[in-house]
Structure 1
Amino acid sequence: MHTWPVQDAQARFNDLLQACLDEGPQIVTQRGAQAAVLVPIGQWQRLQATARPTLKQLLLSDHARADMVLPNRGRSRRRVVLDQV
Structure 2
Amino acid sequence: MWTLQDAKNRFSAVVDAALAGQPQEVSRRGKPAVVVLSADEYARMRAAAGEKRGSFITHLLSFPGDPDSPRPQITPRDVSF
TM-score normalized by the length of structure 2: 0.64
Counterpart residue number, 1:69: 62
In structure 2, the partner of 1:19 is 17
- Cα distance between partner residues in 1 of 2:17 and 2:43: 19
Which residue of 1 is the match for residue 2 of structure 2? Answer: 4
Q: 1:44 to 1:23 in 2, by over 3 A?
A: closer
Is 2:21–2:37's contact at 8 Å kept on the other side of the alignment?
no
Alpha-carbon distance, 1:23 to partner: 4.2
| Unpaired runs of at least 5, structure 2 | 67-71, 76-81
Deviation at 1:47, TM superposition (A): 1.1
Q: How far is the alpha carbon of 1:34 from its aligned partner?
A: 0.3
Q: Distance in 1 between matches of 2:55 and 2:43?
A: 17
Identical-residue share of aligned pairs (%): 31
Aligned to 1:37: 35
Distance 2:55 2:31 in 1: 28
> How many residue pairs were aligned?
65
Using the size of structure 1 for normalisation, the TM-score is 0.61
Structure 1 residue ranges without an equivalent (≥5): 59-64
